[in-house]
């Protein structure tokens, strides 16, 4: 596959943009090679600047659940843009989208919009701190909550000590207030509460993790978080930026029947435009300014184009849609698992709603340490072999994959066949070697 124009575009970008990208993972460092520069996208397909087409399983890292350039979304954007693109005043659009969210997400009575998932989680933590009068919070290793300072923290040498910054520029003082524990480890959460009595404002969690590859909670884990946060007077925050309107209309909380105090949203609710939101019980949300004393603001918060694209997208998503997407996702991971088994590749797969993932490691994978057992070199080779066959997966083993309304059963089956072909080219199965 010829990608000369992408190569030239990357060289040009690197002259004026650090690393040539505006979000780190886009640079392909985890898999090597040159990022694909996209010219346009329609339905389930990306078209790059060289004219190559790829079946897209990244979908802008989650938002494009309707597929690219869905006519209803494009039409809504046209109509909104003709009336102006930002006013800095309240609009009825915002209430309309807020109503849809409050209706769909079980724990949310009130919601405030901002412009990214990063803003949503940063605001949710500030609100939790303001509400409880406490400063520390618990975060799970491998969960991603955007790029704000309090979340760019890794585990210290002992799980019970404070975290350490995992980026230069994050103050050690900030890291002290973020306690890092392994995902799915309820005992470690209890230990963190016991060692920091009266100091922990919140536990924030990706209830289904999509940011270390896809990792699901063990039975009872989310319930345990709910029980413990109540017991110790902390808030439970579900970061559903990825899973909201993705694994079900009401997100993970609707599937699992565990209701957090605060929920963060983003991605799908903006239909591909920049958006974030955080919501929860009225009594907590009313602590925000202007009624309360926890500050929040944003020039483009609740932007009319983002609200219009979000509304148009959410209107396409009924409960039946998620069942259909879940069937497709299951078909894909079942097919992939069969291929991996056939080719002798150790693997673990997971799927929920329109989200799925696979690790090149024996299961079960329940936390970051488990995810890191993956054969990332094999993933890199598999990624490129699939790319060359016209299939775009995430350029890193540690990301979830997504389906849209535009993906069909035939495309799923084609993907599974291509995966078998790709692995055959990379790594002949044992008995192939023997037979010859
Ligand atoms: C993507 C993501 C974020 C950050 O959202 P941005 O819009 O990229 O700032 C936060 N939390 C989770 C779970 C995410 O998947």
Per-residue pLDDT tens over the stretch 305-332: 999 999 999 999 988 999 999 999 999 9
CA distance to 97, 116, 155, per residue, from 150 (Å)? 29, 16, 13
Q: What is the pLDDT of residue 427?
A: 65
Residue 288, classed as helix, strand or coil, is strand
Residue the block writes with tokens 């799927």: 351
Report the pLDDT averaged over residues 391-409. Answer: 97
User: Tokens 């995966």, residue?
Assistant: 419
Is the separation of the CB atoms in 313 and 271 below 8 Å? yes
> What is the DSSP pairing of strand 235-239 with strand 200-205?
parallel
Give residue 425 CA to ligand 1 midpoint distance, Å: 35
Average pLDDT on 49-59 reads: 98
The angle subtended at Cα 431 by Cα 426 and Cα 433, nearest 5°, is 60
Going by pLDDT thresholds of 50, 70 and 90, the confidence category of residue 434 is: very low
Residue 160: predicted pLDDT: 56
Spatial distance between the Cα atoms of 398 and 283, rounded to a whole number of angstroms: 37
Contact predicate 277/111, CB 8 Å: yes
Categorize the per-residue pLDDT at 361 as very low, low, confident or very high, splitting at 50, 70 and 90.
Answer: very high
Catalytic residue from among 54, 57, 144, 379: 144
Confidence band for 156, pLDDT divided at 50, 70 and 90: confident
Name all domains of the chain by residue range, CATH numbers in brackets: 4-69+317-435 (3.90.1150.10), 71-314 (3.40.640.10)
Three-state SS for 326-394 is HHHHHHHHHHHHHHHHHCCCCCEEEEECCEEEEECCCCCCCCHHHHCCCCHHHHHHHHHHHHHCCEECC
Whether 391 contacts 407, CB under 8 Å: no
Ligand 1 mutation target, pool 24, 125, 144, most atoms within 8 A of CB = 144
- For residue 266, the CA-to-ligand 1 centroid distance in Å is 7
Ligand 1 is surrounded, with C-beta below 6 A, by: 116-118, 121, 144-146, 206, 210-211, 239, 241-242, 266, 276
Q: Each residue of 191-246: pLDDT tens digit?
A: 999 999 999 999 999 999 999 999 999 999 999 999 999 999 999 999 999 999 99
Q: Which atom of ligand 1 is nearest to the CA of 118?
A: 9
pLDDT in tens, 260-316: 999 999 999 999 999 999 999 999 999 999 999 999 999 999 999 999 999 999 999
Q: What is the pLDDT of residues 159-193, one digit of tens each?
A: 555 788 999 999 999 999 999 999 999 999 999 99
Q: Is 286 in the active site?
A: no
More confident residue, 164 or 251: 251
Specify the pLDDT at position 428: 59
CA distance 124 to 131: 10
Candidates 26, 117, 150: which one to mutate for ligand 1, based on the most atoms within 8 Å of Cβ? 117
* Catalytic residue from among 267, 379, 392, 420: 267
Highest mean pLDDT among 149-158, 270-279, 424-433 belongs to 270-279
267 is catalytic: yes
CB atoms under 10 Å from CB of 367, counted, come to 20
Give the pLDDT of residue 161. Answer: 59
pLDDT of residue 67: 98
- Average pLDDT on 79-104 reads 98
Whose alpha carbon is nearest atom 11 of ligand 1?
A: 145
pLDDT exceeds cutoff 60 at 92: yes
291 is catalytic: no
Give pTM, 2 decimals. Answer: 0.96
Q: Indicate the average pLDDT of the chain.
A: 96
Q: Is the pLDDT of residue 436 over 70?
A: no
Report the nearest-CA residue for atom 15 of ligand 1: 242
- Residue 61 C-alpha from the chain's centroid: 7
């Amino acid at each position: 596959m010829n990608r000369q124009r992408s190569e030239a575009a990357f060289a040009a970008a690197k002259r004026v943009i650090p690393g040539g990208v505006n979000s780190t993972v886009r640079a392909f460092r985890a898999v090597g090679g040159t990022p694909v520069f996209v010219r346009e996208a329609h339905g389930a397909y990306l078209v790059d600047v060289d004219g190559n087409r790829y079946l897209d399983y990244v979908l802008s890292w989650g938002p494009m659940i309707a597929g690219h350039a869905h006519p209803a979304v494009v039409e809504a954007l046209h109509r909104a843009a003709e009336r102006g693109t930002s006013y800095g005043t309240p609009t009825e659009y915002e209430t309309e989208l807020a109503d849809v969210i409050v209706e769909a997400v079980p724990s949310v009575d009130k919601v405030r919009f901002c412009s990214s998932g990063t803003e949503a989680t940063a605001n949710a933590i500030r609100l939790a701190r303001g509400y409880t009068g406490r400063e520390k919070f618990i975060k799970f290793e491998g969960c991603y909550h955007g790029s704000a300072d309090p979340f760019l923290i890794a585990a210290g040498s002992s799980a019970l000590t404070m975290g350490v910054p995992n980026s230069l520029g994050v103050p050690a003082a900030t890291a002290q207030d973020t306690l890092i524990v392994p995902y799915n480890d309820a005992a470690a959460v209890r230990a963190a509460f016991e060692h920091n009595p009266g100091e922990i404002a919140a536990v924030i969690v990706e209830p289904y993790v999509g940011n270390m590859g896809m990792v699901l909670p063990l039975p009872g884990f989310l319930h345990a978080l709910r029980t413990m946060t109540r017991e110790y007077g902390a808030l439970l925050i579900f970061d559903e930026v990825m899973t909201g309107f993705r694994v079900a209309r009401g997100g993970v909380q609707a599937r699992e029947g565990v209701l957090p105090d605060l929920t963060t949203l983003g991605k799908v609710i903006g239909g591909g435009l920049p958006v974030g939101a955080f919501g929860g019980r009225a009594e907590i949300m009313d602590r925000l300014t202007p009624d309360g004393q926890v500050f929040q603001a944003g020039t483009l918060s609740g932007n009319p184009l983002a609200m219009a694209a979000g509304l148009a997208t959410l209107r396409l998503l009924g409960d039946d849609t998620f069942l259909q997407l879940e069937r497709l996702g299951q078909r894909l991971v079942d097919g992939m698992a069969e291929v991996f088994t056939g080719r002798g590749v150790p693997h673990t797969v997971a799927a929920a709603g329109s989200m799925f993932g696979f690790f090149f490691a024996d299961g079960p994978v329940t936390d970051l340490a488990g995810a890191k057992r993956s054969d990332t070199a094999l993933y890199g080779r598999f990624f490129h072999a699939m790319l060359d066959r016209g299939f775009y997966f995430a350029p890193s083993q540690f990301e979830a994959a997504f389906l849209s309304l535009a993906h069909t059963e035939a495309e799923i089956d084609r993907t599974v066949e291509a995966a078998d072909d790709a692995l055959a080219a990379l790594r002949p199965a044992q008995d192939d070697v023997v037979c010859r």
